Amino acid sequence: MRKYFTPLITGDVILEKQEKKSGVALVDFGASVTGVSIYLGGVLRYYGAVPFGGRSITGDISRECDIPWDLAENLKKAYGFCNPSKLQNLQDKMIMVNGSSASGCHQIYVKYLSRIIEARMKEIGNAGLYEIEKSGFADSLTSGLVITG
């Protein structure tokens, strides 16, 4: 039985050799954790973990909209946008859902849903940028930033 460090495997699959050599930050959005891997000179130089991911977003939706977890996950997948200002035709769309409290059926606007997602994504993004700065390699990332997950 072997043990693998997942960020190394992800880096091998996602990144080009030249990116790793010249310097790149790989931000991997997971369900519970967002990983930040810094490669330079072809080697993983730094790894940091942000304790938020897709489940955090689902939890926010569930709490804010007072709906069950599974329904929140389905709404996130079907109507989830990270940028409410880019919604155009969908921003006024309303979704009718059954709440988890005695309030019964209520309405959720897609724009409100996207604001919930945007707030958590900003938090995760800022935490990822903090990890990049903390690594001490921020000025050496010639190949920039690669986001996956």
Is it the case that residue 105 has pLDDT exceeding 90?
no
Residue 89 — very low, low, confident or very high, per pLDDT cuts 50/70/90?
Answer: low
How far apart, in whole angstroms, are the C-alpha atoms of residue 7 and residue 57? 22
**28: which 2 tokens?**
């991997």
Share of the chain above pLDDT 70, in %: 90
**64: which 2 tokens?**
């804010």
Residue 89's identity, in one-letter code, is N
- What is the sign, positive or negative, of the torsion defined by CA atoms of 59, 116, 80, 112? positive
Residue 93 — very low, low, confident or very high, per pLDDT cuts 50/70/90?
Answer: confident
Give the C-alpha distances (Å, rounded to integers) separating 144 from 33, 40, 105: 21, 11, 46
Is it the case that residue 102 has pLDDT exceeding 60?
no
pTM for the full predicted model: 0.84
- At residue 46, what are phi and psi to the nearest 5 degrees? -155, 145
